[in-house]
Amino acid sequence: MTLPVEISAWKPAPFALKGETVFAIGDVHGCAAELRVLLDTIAELAKAESGQRRLIYLGDMINRGPDSVGVLELWAEKSETRGVDRIDRVMGNHEIMMMLAAIGGPHAHKAEAMWLSKRMGGQKLLDQMAARAGRPAVHADLTLLESALGRRVVQRLYGMRSHVSIGNTLFVHGGLDPHADPDEFLTRPWTVFTEARWAWINHGFLDWKGGFGGTLVVHGHTPPDKHMAISGMTDPHLFEGDRLGLDGGSARTGIVMGAQLQDGRYRLLKAGTPFENPESSAE
């Protein structure tokens, strides 16, 4: 059975994207079937656009869900495969945990313990990679990643960005700290773990009402129930407070969210069938 994709009506918002059409996809967390139908929908919508078309992944492609390996294979595809002119891949906190565990270094032990915890769900991906590689794996290392995922996916993982800026709009996984210098905040390397707060922030961002100096922020990271508890919004997927959140809860709710954005407007793309009893969420 093909999963449904719900496309909302266009909604006004002051995005100024230099004439580009941007498709943004929020947290996927191993939900390959939902991502596939969302990408098929995006490819069809992109056919109707004559200008520059860009796809931006907002991070947290992995962990928790049934097929993170399949998600990464879709995520690593070339732009022409998905009917767009360019693909940008933003790093999420879940990718940070996995990569720090794999490369070693001062944060590796803590990152791996966090990544493999039940709350973060990395054990599912580790098991999937071990099965793909055909050998047991207690730890993730670069040899396992390349064996299980292939060189192209690993190269894409190394090529992930902290953020993408187009016109007045910032695309980032977690969000912005309104009290920090944005350039310093956004250029912190992912290797500093939780200090790369662009991938981790929710409190101090979602409850901030004063704007971000003219920057509009499109982000993922904080699933609907937690978003609403912090922001007070009744619908976390509407543009409000100069923010647009696209974390649908994915592996915990059955929904992967995306959006199509153009100058002055956006519409939401909701892929999947909601679970009857969604789990309480963790970012």
DSSP sequence for 40-71? HHHHHHHHT--S-EEEEE-S--SSSSS-HHHH
User: What is the tens place of the pLDDT at every residue in 8-35?
Assistant: 999 999 999 999 999 999 999 999 999 9
By the 8 A CB rule, do 27 and 59 touch? Answer: yes
In whole angstroms, give the CA distance from residue 33 to residue 25: 14
User: Over 70: is that where the pLDDT of 79 sits?
Assistant: yes
- Give the distance between the most distant pair of CA atoms in the chain: 52
Q: What is the pLDDT of residue 283?
A: 72
Per-chain mean pLDDT for the chain = 96
User: What is the tens place of the pLDDT at every residue in 121-154?
Assistant: 999 999 999 999 999 989 999 999 999 999 999 9
By the 8 A CB rule, do 99 and 157 touch? Answer: yes
User: Over 90: is that where the pLDDT of 281 sits?
Assistant: no
What domains, with CATH codes, occur in the chain? 5-92+161-271 (3.60.21.10)
Can you say how many angstroms the Cα of residue 90 is from the centroid of all Cα atoms in its chain? 7
The length of the chain is 283
By the 8 A CB rule, do 68 and 37 touch? Answer: no
* Single-letter amino acid code for the residue at 175: G
Q: What is the pLDDT of residue 185?
A: 98
Q: What percent of the chain has pLDDT above 70?
A: 99
Q: What is the pLDDT of residue 192?
A: 97
In whole angstroms, give the CA distance from residue 25 to residue 280: 21
Q: What is the pLDDT of residue 102?
A: 96
Identify the DSSP state of 195: G
* Residue in the block written with tokens 């032990």: 109
Separation in Å, CA 153 to CA 149, 165, 227, 283: 6, 24, 30, 23
Q: What is the pLDDT of residue 190?
A: 98
User: Over 70: is that where the pLDDT of 114 sits?
Assistant: yes
User: Over 90: is that where the pLDDT of 226 sits?
Assistant: yes
